[in-house]
A and B are shown apart, each in its own frame.
Chain A
């Protein structure tokens, strides 16, 4: 088995899956009907991307598991998502700020990954890029609306950006696993995505009259399976049904 590729695909699939699940928690609770629908639609896209990445991971692993087995029958320590995406939703401001920081990264990441030497990986990235581009337009517009809105919305958006900033470093980590895939032309060097991401984020923060926090100490560990408490609670809810009723179908 190609362990490097398998683990890398898990990282991408898990980040999409967990963020998709977080967004789905807004279903029925968003501030407006249009936003409820928008967040559910983005959740659906991300869950679909997760299904594709985890499906390919299962194929690479070749042990007879499928995307559902990987999603529902792994424990928290086996999850490889970014810490950023597992954070609780808090308020709408934090949800939108997190979404924008992630979308802006995903646009750059998928753009680079679409040139992967592995045609299967390149295809998923090219497909995801169209969706990420659309998502970024939505989250970027809303971040501007909140940042350049009332004193209350501005303060909450700024607090969200400040809180989330230390979680953005993980998106640009290039550990031995990534480096090995970079050498084979399968993955882009994640460090190389930082400058373009910075430019995208700076544009929107300026338009939103929000302050860009300084880069300092960054959180790390999610990609290696070290997670916060919140992920365990999320998985408990997400995995309950297939765990309690193995093989359930409808």
Chain B
């Protein structure tokens, strides 16, 4: 049997990766989140997938690695290797426009502003628009939320609380 060309293998692997979701943000797959970084197809067709954690202590990472292995096996790459990289560090900049739209549709405000910039310690926070009603009259309730990647906000217009995807 002729082996499929490397480009075709790579396409099928990326396709399989879009079926893996971050358990903490079920609506997003790991490709549009920027967690799946690289697909390497070796000379003999061996496959390696490189993933990176959103946060150092992200508890979802081991589950994601297991799910990646399973999705690849289902796509016919049972021998694929899954490896972890810390560099370059994940940033919310890698969320695709599609991912940002999906976050908003789930009631999670997407990140605002420039990550990595040294915000003044007590400088003005970013203006975060309410994902329910669009109002910009919102306030931060807590720096940290139910998962490592979220903070908690409240809308002063519609009075609904909502999650904000932290900008890093």
Contact = CB atoms under 8 A, between A and B. Distances in A.
Contacts of B142: 34, 37-38
Nearest to A130: B168
Interface in A3-51: 20, 34, 37-38, 41-49, 51
A49 B57 CA distance: 7
A211 interface: no
Contacts, number: 83
Given A34-B152, A37-B144, A48-B56, A133 B89 contact: no
Contact of B89 (A37, A123, A203): A123
Interface stretch (B43-51, B63-71, B114-122): B114-122
Contacts of B56: 45, 48-49, 51-52, 127-128, 131
A65 interface: no
Nearest to A45: B57
Interface in A172-217: 200, 203-204, 207
Contacts of B152: 34
A124 interface: yes
A234 interface: no
B53 A37 contact: no
B144 A203 contact: no
B55 A45 contact: yes
A130 B144 contact: no
B121 A204 contact: yes
B151 to A, nearest CB: 9
A126 interface: yes
Contacts of A134: 143, 166, 168
Label chain B's interface by main secondary structure: loop
A45 B55 CA distance: 7
B88 interface: yes
Contacts of A42: 144
A34 B144 contact: yes
A201 B59 CA distance: 32
Size category of the A interface is: 35 or more
A203 B123 CA distance: 13
B121 A138 contact: no
A47 B57 contact: yes
A38 B122 contact: no
B155 to A, nearest CB: 17
Contact of A203 (B57, B59, B121): B121
B148 A126 contact: no
Nearest to B91: A130
A38 B148 CA distance: 9
A233 B80 CA distance: 43
Interface in A50-75: 51-52
B168 A38 contact: no
Given A38-B142, A38-B144, A137 B88 contact: no
A38 B143 contact: yes
A126 B91 CA distance: 11
Contacts of B115: 130
Given A41-B148, A46-B57, A133-B119, 5 more contacts: A44-B55, A123-B87, A133-B118, A134-B168, A140-B122
Interface of A: 20, 34, 37-38, 41-49, 51-52, 119, 122-124, 126-128, 130-131, 133-134, 136-138, 140-141, 144, 200, 203-204, 207
25 contacts: A34-B141, A34-B142, A41-B144, A44-B58, A44-B59, A45-B57, A45-B148, A48-B56, A48-B57, A49-B56, A122-B87, A123-B86, A126-B88, A127-B86, A128-B56, A130-B115, A130-B116, A130-B168, A133-B118, A134-B168, A137-B119, A137-B121, A141-B121, A144-B122, A200-B121
